[in-house]
Structure 1
Amino acid sequence: MNEKLILIVLKISLIFFPNWFNFLLDGHYFERKTLQSYYTISSSIFTLSGSAASAKLAVSVIEKLWSKDEKEKEKNILLFQKNSHNFIKEVARLNKAVPMVKVLATSETVNEIENNFKNKNSDIKIYENTPLHCSIINANCDKKILQNPDDFLTDRAEINKIIVWNGVEKDILNMDEKKRPIRYCPGHDLSIDAIKYVAERFLPFLFDSTDNPTW
């Protein structure tokens, strides 16, 4: 491979792209003749994924597929092939691009918080529409909601209870659009399909007993 080309690729790498990803792109440069440069590839990822957060998630998914542990790598590839959408959602749950969210307290939220403090022998008064800073990372690892929240499980029964695209997954998927979260991400479906497309382009080979590569 041309050393100058490698140097150029590494110099213009995006800040959230790990080195292995840049080498991977460079290694496929001549195979992907329709993509004339790294700029085209990086722009494609941004365009397909729709935002910096989705692009970062795409890279996290690829990094998960390219685990340094060979057994873990093979396991992840098979999980991705079995259910790519759930694989992406589970990566998103554990690798949240947006860790915090600010919401306005509703009457239901106020009652829940005040009762929680009363159970701890503390009195606190919160008014409706009070700005609340919430940790999405903590919410997605809540043991009251998820079983074994620290584990990577693509077949977990509570997968639709995760909070990633500006709302609880099951609410975002509600067929009645009027019942969906007010500020949910309208690019939810597109971003998942785009991330799947990008990840499939860089999916590692698996070799069976006959040494025939499979995807």
Structure 2
Amino acid sequence: MVLPEPMAAPTKELGDCQNINEAVSSDTLDTGVREPYVMENSSDNANRSRQTNPALVGVSNDRASSSQGNKDIGLWQGHKVNSEFVCLLDRIFHKYPETFDQFTSKNKKLCTMNLNMLCTSVNDFTKTFLNEVDSEMIADYRDAFAYLGNRGLNIGWLRRRLNYIEHLKFSKPLIPELHAIDCHIDDAKRQNLQSKLHVLQAFRRAKMSEIQKAFGTMGTRLTAGFIGDDLLSGP
């Protein structure tokens, strides 16, 4: 029996496969060597670029300086508040120290919010003219003051003034009548009606006397200015 000769083709294919594997392995090794080299060069170039490019350094410095803190934030007795309110809180504390006797909270953000709300309410309230006050405004301030009171702020001084303003404005029609006379006086001045102006001014003096009898000197004083501009004035 004659055995067939072994086929040569598989041996050649195996050799080709070995060559391919060697080539792939060689490429992989080459790639493995080149990649760190490329990355290292990129990193070095980036570092050198940052060191030599003043524009990049400037951007980095600007970002760092902008993160150092908000200039609009101030400190009042350890509490963060809007910087514009620090002096106002000092004035309130100086004249009405009892305001803060019961004001304590472990939540710092809540303290900040309540103190800012107090100052915003005081600013708005004290800079309102008497003829601007209406029943809706009275109700809004009463709600705001009740909220602040429930947060431990003793603002009886604000509530007393609010009650007085409500009584002054709505218990009698004297303030609306005075406002109507003032409007007629302005018209007479614009039209240069001197005789009418003298009569209206006499009416106004009489009305102011009625207001003083009904509400005292504070009532007459508040008709000419803000409803709370004297709350934080003086000692």
TM-score by length of 2: 0.25
Larger CA Rg, structure 1 vs 2: 2
Structure holding more helix per residue: 2
Relative contact order higher in (CA < 8 Å, ≥ 6 apart) = 1
